[in-house]
Chain A
Amino acid sequence: MRTVILRSSDGADHIVSSEAASLSRTVQSLLEELEAKEGEESPLIVPLPNVCDCTLRKVLQYCIQHTEPGTNLTGRIHVSETRRRDLEVWDRNYMLVSTDELYHLVMAAHYLNVPGLLELCCEGIANLIRGKSPQHVRQHFGLVNNFEKAEEEDIRRTNLWALVDEKELAKK
């Protein structure tokens, strides 16, 4: 198994198997380019200027875990049932990060194009939104309500497909 060096934005190098690195489609295509240019033998160094060291480390944890023997490159096809369940548990624990880290992670997964990780992070953020009212969402993420009162009411109404007959209501 060939190893490659991934260099983070702040110049830290990480040595990983090309198998794990190829979970990132961005890295995979960069690797293919490099290989074509430099030949099979020279060490492959992939600079990743958009990912900082600490996030890259976390991303690689995921990549390594998901390329352990028994997983194939394309993801989780042909994986035994127990292995799949183990991975699910691992993923859940892996997601126990601060919201701040989660944000960095989702950006990195997006840039590196690691489909599985991206889904995992998006689900993580969606879980923070799920079941909350608009006010709670704003509160949780520190967003500011920048609607006019009338505008808010208007948006609420345009998203309703069934409305109460105003005339009938006036009668009551």
Chain B
Amino acid sequence: MASTGRHRLTEAWAETAPSTSKVAGLAGQPQPRDQQTFGGTDVPLQPLRHNIRLRKNVDQDCGGRARGSRKRQALPPRLKRDDDTFSTSIAALPSDLLVHIFGHLDVKAHRFVLPLVCRQWNDLLVRPLALWNHVDVDFAEEVQTGASALVPLLQAGSPVTQPGGAFAIVRQDSITRWLQRRASAVRSLRLRGSGDLEGALVPVTDRPHSQEYVEHPRIHDFNRFGLATILTTVVVSLEELVIERCYDLITTAAFRAMGGCKKLKVLSLKGIRSMLDIEDFEAIAALRQLEELVLDCDQPPEPEPGSEEIKWGLPEFPEGMLHLVNMTHLTLSCHYGITELPAGITSLNRLEVLNLDFCTLSALPAVLGELTALTTLDVEGNLYLGDSFRGATTPIGAATSALAAPPFPLDLEGLQSLRYLNLNSCGLTAIPSVLSTLRNLETLDLEDNDLAVSLPEWHLSSSLGYLSRLQCLNLAQCRLETVPAQVEKLSSLRILDLTNNRIGNEGLPMSLARLPHLRAIGLKKNALTAVPRVLGYMRSLQEIYLEDNADLQVNAPLDFLLELPNLRSVMIGKQSGTWSPCSMLYMTDFMMKLMAQHPTKNILRISCPGHNATPFDEEDAAA
């Protein structure tokens, strides 16, 4: 391909032959003068003057550059890479091009290398350039950089080679001053604290052999207006603010300052460790441009026995939230005050992601179905949510009697865009029948719900069969003894997780073989006593997990698994209990056959007590 290009070029070249000779004629003449200018001994001493001359050439007299290249050809190749000619070049590049080049380097270079090269570069780099669109302040990293920057300083004056117990701390005024000059370029600001470093014990570095440890001091000197001060400097341009693990920075003043950043589109506060005030939140509610809001609290500390209810995060779902009508993403994690969602939530009709995990919701609002743009709904860990679904699980036949009318007429039919639904640990006792309307659902997570409450079979799974697009179904830790019958109707299912149930050999019906796309099946920690035959009929199966079934033995050849064309991994083994000699024999046999079939793949993996998930070894088996 390259040769064609060259060929076409030479053709073009031949056709323009007369003009080339003209060039040669032009270039021949001024060559001596050229050499004088470029090759003169005084040049390296006066780079700036040289520089100006070259820029002039570029702007006005391009012939000069052509002559330059002629000269290069005339000189011996040793001198071709004369750094001097380029030195003037890089300094002569227009500043926008220089910034473009700097853009290919990392932020460490922008802050610690490039400004120290020469005054011109430094003057350029303090301007509000596109380079400063994203500013990332990682406290732990800054502390380290600050301490290592000290090393040459100390070496100059004192014999100490390492900064020993001297710790650098992040300075509020350093950041503010740095941001001030670049403020109008800053679109996104990210602060990443490190709560773990403070108070941690670190070894004294200047005495390498001592076992002494010192407590790491505070890593920043921010007062309660610290974050507010920083935000005020970038208030005009800021569109994205992410604050992680800086719970001590999030103060009333900081909230007010956030409310001032009118262009803010993304606001994400992660790792909050306190109560939040509704009044504080009102400041955020003024940000009408907001598209993404994340208020993510850490798990609260364990309560003292006998103490009162813990208050954590927001005390309620703030009314002000309902004004943020441009929001597409809302995450409120671990707010113990949020027990219900107001009906007014329908005003947030652009919401695509709604994440309310580990709150204390007792019901979903009846109007939830009106949020038609939702693609992701996550209510994991809302332990009391199950009650609100129980009314809705009443079968249609029974609903005809007035007494059985569901107390929460939860209608999810509008959620036709919903792809992901997480009901992990929601206190469910059955698979809610309202789910049957979610025809486009791809992932359903029902882990850790007690689905084994003795109810008739139709009650347990009547809704599942309609989810024809479902690809991942998580039924781990649901105390199931059999796989719900309707699972076999999920024709798109790819992953089925049944880990940590009580499924015995009868619990896995033959009808599961009808799932044409099933790729992975998780049967870890169940009550299986033999490898289920049905696995051999699941043609698409790639991964089988059978670990920690304490009573599992292999009492028949495993040849039926050899038929699976895409099998990649079989995990089998147990932490407690032993294998019978017969099992060992059949597994060795299976392994030999697998090796004959796929010599390059290591499919069977066995973990025994003491040998955690090691590849099955022939010698082990023989012994």
On A, residues with C-beta under 8 Å from B are: 9-16, 49-55, 57, 60-61, 64-65, 68, 86, 90, 98-100, 102-104, 106-107, 110, 118, 122-123, 125-126, 129-130, 132-134, 137-138, 140-147, 151-152, 155-156, 158-165, 168-169, 172
Contact = CB atoms under 8 A, between A and B. Distances in A.
B170 A125 contact: no
Given A9-B66, A53-B23, A146 B118 contact: yes
Contacts of A138: 117-118
B327 to A, nearest CB: 32
B174 A161 contact: yes
A15 B52 CA distance: 34
B235 to A, nearest CB: 19
Interface SS, B side: helix
Contacts of A49: 62
A84 to B, nearest CB: 13
7 contacts: A103-B90, A123-B104, A126-B101, A129-B101, A143-B87, A162-B142, A164-B147
A144 B86 contact: no
A128 to B, nearest CB: 9
B207 interface: no
B116 A172 contact: no
B9 A61 contact: yes
A52 B64 CA distance: 9
A169 B166 contact: yes
B286 to A, nearest CB: 30
A125 B90 contact: yes
B167 A9 contact: no
B16 A141 contact: no
A160 B9 contact: no
Given A156-B149, A172-B160, 10 more contacts: A54-B66, A61-B5, A68-B4, A99-B81, A100-B81, A100-B82, A129-B109, A142-B86, A160-B142, A163-B168
B147 A147 contact: no
A100 B89 contact: yes
Interface stretch (B92-100, B459-467, B490-498): B92-100
Interface residues on B, range: 35 or more
Given A14-B12, A162-B145, A137 B168 contact: no
Interface of B: 1-2, 4-6, 8-9, 11-13, 15-16, 19-20, 22-23, 26-27, 44, 47, 58, 62-63, 65-66, 69, 72, 80-91, 93-94, 97, 100-105, 109, 111-119, 122, 137, 139, 142-143, 145-147, 149-150, 160, 163-171, 174-175, 177-178, 219
Contact of A110 (B80, B97, B142): B97
B1 A107 contact: no
A43 B254 CA distance: 66
A141 B170 contact: no
Contacts of B167: 164-165, 168
Contacts of A122: 97, 100-101, 103-104
A142 B44 contact: yes
B2 A90 contact: yes
Given A61-B6, A140-B83, A143-B118, A161 B101 contact: no
A100 B175 CA distance: 39
B131 to A, nearest CB: 12
Given A125-B101, A165-B169, A103 B93 contact: yes
A134 B170 CA distance: 24
Contacts of B72: 100
Contacts of B171: 161-163
A98 B518 CA distance: 57
Contacts of B91: 141, 143
A107 B62 contact: no
Contact of B122 (A50, A60, A155): A155
Given A138-B117, A164-B147, A144 B166 contact: no
Given A158-B178, A160-B145, A172-B165, A51 B62 contact: yes
A121 B170 CA distance: 37
A134 B100 contact: no
Nearest to A166: B166
Contact of A13 (B15, B80, B175): B15
Contacts of A14: 9, 12-13, 16
A50 B62 contact: yes
Given A15-B15, A110-B97, A164-B163, A90 B1 contact: yes
A25 to B, nearest CB: 15
Contacts of B85: 100
Contact of A52 (B69, B87, B101): B69
B47 A13 contact: no
